[in-house]
Structure 1
Amino acid sequence: MISLQPLTLEIASGNSVCIVGPNPEARQTGGVARHMTVLSQLPALKKATIFDPGSTGGFWQAGALVVAGRCLKLRQLIAKGNYDQVWINTSIYPSAFVKLLLILLSLGNIKGVKVRVFFHGGRFEEIIFLHTRLLCQIARKILGQAKARHFLSLEQGRGFERIFPGLSWELYSNFLPTDIPLKRLPDSKIILLFVGRLVKEKGVYEILTAVDELNQFRKMGDLAIWFVGDGPEMEALRFQAQLRPQGKVQVWGFLDGESLERVYQRAFVFLLPSYHQEGSPYVLLEAMRAGLPVIASPIGAIPSIIEDGKNGFLIPSKNPTALAQAIIKLLDDPGLARSMGNRNVIKFKKEFSKQAANEYYTRLLSRET
């Protein structure tokens, strides 16, 4: 069980900020938790207080009274702490959204505190109770108490706008907690890499089908698919690996740290033919850091990161043939693959590195609106 005591970081900053989200010391998984880890390492936010509202269990498991108690504890912390700003990090799923509304209600009448909400994965259209007019109006009024609402993609922001017209919003990015690109490592195989949760919606079976199509008209003895991650499709993918020649499909399971970095370094291309509710996938930024060309579906923030034909290819979701054709383009033109990878390293350093994150949040701290 995570302690709900606030974590205060050490080095002073010019502003007093309380950041609400999963405690980075708890090593949780998921986009919100990774975002909190990045924030905890930024010089601009070294004075920030991190408050975990109870992220180890969802709203329904914890119960309304427990969640209300955590919100009260947060209110007491803010009221006594002389904070200028509160930044709330959440996903767009029903339990997380209800928790967000309770947090905003608990902070509603504390004067002089600017509240920003940073939304991560999910879609508002799939929160069923927002389809009820009265509940939607109540949620809109509560959300209006925040000074600003931040989204990872235009898709998310426009979905919010359709349900809550008149409430302003803006875009922000995910970042990695490093400025150092990964050096490529030579490999005897041509490795097509997928990293992420092993679910159908991430396009894992489309990857298998695409390579099967490719092999029908071209002998690719040195081509291999590597799946890195865990999830409900892991055993099914391992079964698929057994149906193919040895070494053609490798399911590694969950990797992190240096083990994960080495996988990126050995790969030829990164694949993400997803039709999942993507925000701004961290795995995409990791692939760019490693100098990989990317083939992905135009979901969430991906079209704002990958420019088709420049640093990768954008392909339709659920289209293995388009995926196979994009792979062939890179196999036939290694120079194109290298140039795409080089552009991704440059883009990573400029837009998604630790330095870029620190500059963004330094500007955000000083903004009046």
Structure 2
Amino acid sequence: MKILIISDLYYPHIGGVSEHIYHIANKFEKMGHYVRILTGKIPGGFKPDERRVIRLGMGVSIQWNKSVGRVTIGHDLLKARKIMNSFDVNHIHGGLTPTYPLLTLQMSEKTKIFTFHSTFDRSIPFKVFRKPLLHFFNKIDGAIAVSETAKESFSKYFPGDYRIIPNGVDIDRFTPHFKKQKGTVLFVGRLEERKGLKYLIKAFKIIKDRGRNLKLIVVGGGYRKYRMDIPNGIKNFIHFTGFVSPEALPEYYKRAEIFVSPATGAESFGIVLIEAMASATPVLASDIPGYRIVIRDKENGILVPPKDPSAIAEGIITLLDNKKMRQKIVKNGLKTAQFYSWDKIAKQIIDFYYEINPSLP
């Protein structure tokens, strides 16, 4: 089968959508399918395996859903349409933006699959432009949401049948490592307000005031603002790595004694939680809808109220001091990670293609 994955969001844009596309493309190829990725040109940055990437138009950053998104401008429409219609399946990732997603729905004559990744409480653009966007939504042959929360976000504006197929983790890449660096806490994510890093830093101040000297490793770009805001007395205990390549990232997970994701909301799933679990690293995360899909409190992770430094501090100390609980969470986390392997996710997606169009090759 010839599969064209289409998105405004792909490397060097860093985020869950890029990660998702990269891994399913790898797995599809290993299953014997021909795969290409159609996206915009983005200067610089990390670009893995460009041999299967087709870049038309220029990717431009925008603020969207409390995060940094992208749209692609300056398309060669005739060339894009020709490419789309030379594949059996056009699989779109992202939102209903007036760039590659809507262009594909309008121009493609092939089987059109759409994966919705975002989570939000409300959307003014969707409310204002709901009627014209419904015209495009109804052109989708098969809709996928990465979680129940993503489905709920979109279905209140665009009702229909959504198949839940979650994000995944590369089990072979994030193998367990039981020689942890004692007292090391890890954060991984873009340093945006919604990721909640400032609450973790405040929690570290609380922990330090109690006489506990831990080390916080912060993996992610955009760290200057946060480095300036660190309280006196804990600066030497917080290390910012900046951007870390996907190849180097697993080592950080493997060495950490605890992984913390203090996101405040707008998370549809949380790939980072599964990556930590696959690395045998116990997880502490905010009690938000997108994370409750993955974490069962005190079973395969610990959930704490969002925006609560004291609760984060207590959770970290509990995981450090309660060996029995920590071992239980690690054991159950490894089982959870197996459920989300990219091999299983890729098979679910291919099966969905054939369910939507049984005549596909």
Q: TM-score, normalised by structure 1?
A: 0.80
Q: What are the within-5 Å matches in structure 2 for residues 13-24 of structure 1?
A: 15-21=1-7
Name the counterpart of 1:271.
260
- Quote the residue 1:85 is aligned against: 89
Larger radius of gyration: 1
Query: Which residue of structure 2 lines up, in the alignment, with residue 173 of structure 1?
Result: 166
Q: Which amino acid aligns with 2:60?
A: G
Partner SS, residue 284 of structure 2 = strand
Tell me the TM-score normalized by structure 2.
0.81
Q: Which residue does the alignment assign to 2:60? A: 58
Which letter does structure 2 place at the counterpart of 1:101? L
- Coordinate RMSD, CA, aligned: 2.8
Q: Which secondary structure state, in structure 1, belongs to the residue aligned with residue 250 of structure 2? A: helix
1:233-272 to structure 2, matched below 5 A, reads 234-240=223-229, 243-245=232-234, 247-257=236-246, 259-272=248-261
Question: Is 1:293 aligned to 2:282, yes or no?
Answer: yes
For 1:170-222, what per-residue CA distance to the aligned partner results, in whole angstroms no more than 9, with x for missing partners?
21211234435423253553111101111232111111212222344x3213x
Is the CA contact (8 Å cut-off) linking 1:87 and 1:118 kept in structure 2?
yes
Match of 1:220, SS state, is coil
Q: Is the 8 A contact 1:22 1:28 kept in 2?
A: no
Shift of 1:23: 9.4
The alignment status of 1:120 with 2:117, answered yes or no, reads yes
Match of 1:365 in 2: 353
Q: Which amino acid aligns with 2:2?
A: S
Is residue 2:146 matched to residue 1:152?
yes
Residue matched to 2:14: 29
Structure 1 spans left out of the alignment, 5+ residues: 1-14
Amino acid at match of 2:175: L
Total equivalences in the alignment: 333
Higher normalized strand content (fraction of residues): 2
Other structure's SS at 2:221 match: coil
Give me the identity figure in percent: 23
**Which amino acid in the other structure matches residue 6 of structure 2?**
V
Residue of structure 1 equivalent to 2:327: 338
Which residue of the partner structure matches residue 127 of structure 2? 131
Deviation at 1:137, TM superposition (A): 1.0
Match of 1:304 in 2: 293
**Take 1:338 and 1:324, find their aligned partners in 2: how far apart are those partners?**
19
Q: Judge conservation of contact 1:179–1:353 (CA < 8 Å) in 2.
A: no
- Name whichever structure is richer in helix by fraction: 1
The answer for the alignment partner of 2:82 in structure 1 is 76
Aligned-partner Cα distance in 2 for 1:208–1:281: 20
Quick one: which amino acid aligns to residue 158 of structure 1? Answer: E
Partner of 1:6: none
AA matched with 1:89? H
Q: Could you say which residue in structure 2 is the equivalent of 1:101? A: 102
The answer as to whether partners of 1:224 and 1:249 remain within 8 angstroms in 2 is yes
1-side partners of 2:192 and 2:71: how far apart? 26
